[in-house]
Amino acid sequence: MVVVTEGLRRAAPVAQPPIVAGYVSPSRPAPAGFADPVWVIVPSHSIDTPYGPCDWPAIHGATKPAQGSPVWLAFDNDGTPIVIFWAGAHT
């Protein structure tokens, strides 16, 4: 008889991709249009090297992310960074 629980104990746990806080990079241009990517600084990683280019959601009407805007950055299963939230006024 096969003991399934032994196989499960030996298997590596599947981790959720992380979500990290950051801000729109001040050293790269902020998106000029909705199709433009954004570059993100994650202080816990580096304040000199931005992640990107990242896609971002158009969640604030006509407002686009500005340099320094707070963001939440997630990573998909391939490690690709994706902005899932950014702070801004709705216009």
Query: To 5 degrees, how large is the angle CA 19–CA 58–CA 53?
Result: 55
**Under 8 Å between Cβ of 40 and 22:** yes
Q: Let me know if residue 51 belongs to a domain.
A: yes
- How many structural domains is the chain composed of? 1
Q: Let me know if residue 9 belongs to a domain.
A: no
Q: Tell me: the pLDDT tens digits for 40-60?
A: 999 998 999 999 999 999 999
Backbone torsion region of residue 35, taken as left when φ is above 0, otherwise alpha when ψ lies between -120 and 50, otherwise beta: alpha
Q: What mean pLDDT, rounded, does the chain reach?
A: 86
* Confidence tier at 67 by pLDDT (50, 70, 90): very high
The DSSP secondary-structure symbol of 33 reads S
pLDDT of res. 76: 85
Q: Let me know if residue 91 belongs to a domain.
A: no
pLDDT of res. 19: 92
Q: Let me know if residue 7 belongs to a domain.
A: no
Q: Let me know if residue 10 belongs to a domain.
A: no
Span 82-88, average pLDDT? 95
Q: Let me know if residue 21 belongs to a domain.
A: yes
Q: Let me know if residue 8 belongs to a domain.
A: no
Q: Let me know if residue 82 belongs to a domain.
A: yes
Span 3-23, average pLDDT? 66
Domain that holds residue 33: 17-86
